[in-house]
Amino acid sequence: MPNWGGGTKCGACEQTVYHAEEIQCNGRSFHKTCFICMTCRKGLDSTTVAAHESEIYCKSCYGKKYGPKGYGYGQGAGALSSDPVGHTVPHEYVSKPRAASTSSNPSKFGSTDRCPRCSKAVYAAEKVMGAGKPWHKTCFRCAFCGKSLDSKTVTDKDGELYCKVCYAKNFGPKGFGLGNAAMLD
């Protein structure tokens, strides 16, 4: 049967896709309304799509279905977090220690990095560097006020982390004219 001015067939609904409504992905054409995740049915765009063979997914569902498996995985990109307090990792889920370790404190769980705040192993997915040491994302907080820190708000002194406000209050210059309110007569 002739295709009278129509486009290609949609990869999802098999209906004709006209040029004005066409989205292409992996060499296939889709209607804008058919360009949705096969699992959660969310609308997709070029920044959120992940293709696997003839199927399209959002990045989160793709990660759950085709991403790495094992302890700490399966929740999609960006969903990893550090272990709850008192939680131990079963040994069958952890890789073996590397032969060329530079740490003097090897862990039985396969990691040589320890968080200075909680003393637990720090794995690559949860590691944040500060004061030259690896920290858990949840432990990367000001030692005084407990505020979460990032690369713009962190300062360190003697291996401990502080927000800029607490650092200034506790370690900044003191005296007349240096941040203290003074009245002149």
133 within 8 A of 103, measured Cβ to Cβ: no
What CATH superfamily classification does 91-171 receive?
A: Cysteine Rich Protein (2.10.110.10)
Q: Which of 61-75, 82-96, 150-164 shows the lowest mean pLDDT across its residues?
A: 82-96
29 within 8 A of 22, measured Cβ to Cβ: yes
Instruction: Label residue 102 by pLDDT band (50, 70, 90).
Output: very low
| pLDDT tens-digit map of 25-35 | 888 888 888 99
Tokens describing residue 125: 């997915």
Among candidates 160, 93, 95, which has minimal Cα distance to 130?
Answer: 160
- Which of 97-101, 104-108, 112-116, 137-141 has the highest average model confidence (pLDDT)? 137-141
- The confidence score (pLDDT) of residue 181 equals 52
Instruction: Name residues whose C-beta falls within 8 Å of residue 142's C-beta, 6 or more positions apart in sequence.
Output: 149, 161, 162, 163, 166
- The confidence score (pLDDT) of residue 17 equals 86
33 within 8 A of 12, measured Cβ to Cβ: no
| pLDDT > 70: percent of the chain | 66
- The confidence score (pLDDT) of residue 3 equals 55
Asked whether residue 75 carries a pLDDT value surpassing 80, the answer given is no
- The confidence score (pLDDT) of residue 132 equals 85
Residues pairing with 163 in the sheet? 154
Q: For the chain, what are the domain ranges?
A: 91-171
